[in-house]
Amino acid sequence: MITKYVSACIRDIQKHRFQEGSGPQTVVILKGCPMYCTSCPSPEIRNHGVRLVWDPARARHFEDGRIFSVQEVLELCLDHPDTLCETSVLLTGGEALMQHAFVYELLSRLKERGVHTAVETTGYVAESQFARLLPLIDHLIFYIKHYEREAHRKITGVYNDLILSNLRNSLGSSSEVEVRLTLVPGLNDRPEDVAGFSRMLQHVGVKQVQLPPLSPSAPPVRSNPADHASPFTGVEMTEYQDAFPT
Ligand code: SF4
């Protein structure tokens, strides 16, 4: 089936080369997110359409997002034919999997060409869609925001049942699954939260987690404008490090 006409609203497409000799990584930042995090650094990304946004620094409006077809994004991702084998693509957001029809087509085309695929997600995606996408994802990066159901709803607007179910299912898949904790000062970074995260993650079957960077000078987890990674919050991190050996 011809799928190149499937389109999505994308905020930005960036090229990164992390070290000399390595292939480029293309980062595709998709708009749209079904959650309402109280700590969201970029709430306007939640809308999955093109929107006019006011920029106070430049005192003018700008268009947030642009519609791209699968074909257009594919061409941008593959514009280094000499290093094709080492090329990788990371989808992020917002919630990268919200525009799932586009993501399915794009990942399918990338996998056909042998490109390494990575996705950052909150896991808040219908189980059937998640299961369909999973075999196309080489590296799945899961951001977990809270261990307790009601508290999760309070800080994100949604319960975490679906997220934990998708996380559990992903652990049995062929994807390499990386779990990252999103720690927000005062919301989930207290010493007593360590035990809560630890208990919940053990219950799901997660053996290892990635903690936020130790300091602003540490390598960033991701260059994501609606960054799901939280700032390092202080001494409590020691307890997290002890509880979750990385
Ligand atoms: S922080 Fe991330 S998951 Fe939460 S509302 Fe913002 S974009 Fe969505």
What CATH number should be reported for the domain holding residue 142?
Answer: 3.20.20.70
* pLDDT at 193 (0 to 100): 87
The amino acid that residue 146 corresponds to is H
Encoded tokens for 156: 């994100």
Q: Which of 122-131, 210-219, 223-232 has the lowest mean pLDDT?
A: 223-232
| Distance (Å) from CA 223 to ligand 1 centroid | 15
Total count of domains within the chain: 1
Say if 139 falls within a structural domain.
Answer: yes
pLDDT tens-digit map of 51-74: 998 888 999 999 999 999 999 999
- Torsion sign, CA atoms 187, 151, 126, 123: positive
Q: Which of 42-46, 92-96, 114-118, 194-198 has the lowest mean pLDDT?
A: 194-198
Q: Which of 31-40, 56-65, 140-149, 230-239 has the lowest mean pLDDT?
A: 230-239
| Distance (Å) from CA 23 to ligand 1 centroid | 29
Confidence of residue 83 (pLDDT cuts 50, 70, 90): low
Nearest atom, ligand 1, residue 122 CA: 3
End-to-end CA distance of the chain: 43
Encoded tokens for 219: 């390598």
| Distance (Å) from CA 112 to ligand 1 centroid | 31
Instruction: Using the predicted structure, report yes or no on whether residue 131 has a pLDDT greater than 90.
Output: yes
Mean pLDDT of the region 26-52: 94
Kindly state if the Cβ of 166 falls inside 6 Å of ligand 1.
Answer: no
Higher pLDDT, 57 or 83: 57
- Residue among 12, 33, 143 to mutate when testing ligand 1 (max atoms within 8 A of CB): 33
Task: Please report which helix (H) or strand (E) contains residue 7, including its range.
Answer: strand 7-16
Say if 20 falls within a structural domain.
Answer: yes
Beta bridge partners of 121: 142
Nearest atom, ligand 1, residue 34 CA: 8
Say if 1 falls within a structural domain.
Answer: no
Confidence of residue 13 (pLDDT cuts 50, 70, 90): very high
Say if 145 falls within a structural domain.
Answer: yes
* pLDDT at 198 (0 to 100): 87
Instruction: Using the predicted structure, report yes or no on whether residue 8 has a pLDDT greater than 70.
Output: yes
Nearest atom, ligand 1, residue 39 CA: 1
Calculate Rg over the CA atoms of the chain: 18
Kindly state if the Cβ of 46 falls inside 6 Å of ligand 1.
Answer: yes
Instruction: Using the predicted structure, report yes or no on whether residue 142 has a pLDDT greater than 70.
Output: yes
**Rounded mean pLDDT of the chain?**
84
Q: Which of 10-24, 133-147, 186-200, 209-223 has the highest mean pLDDT?
A: 133-147
Q: Tokens 């800080």 map to which residue? A: 155
Say if 231 falls within a structural domain.
Answer: yes
Question: Rounded distance, CA 108 to CA 125, Å?
Answer: 18
Say if 94 falls within a structural domain.
Answer: yes
Question: Rounded distance, CA 239 to CA 181, Å?
Answer: 13
Say if 2 falls within a structural domain.
Answer: no
| Distance (Å) from CA 60 to ligand 1 centroid | 25
Which residue range is the domain that position 174 belongs to?
Answer: 7-243
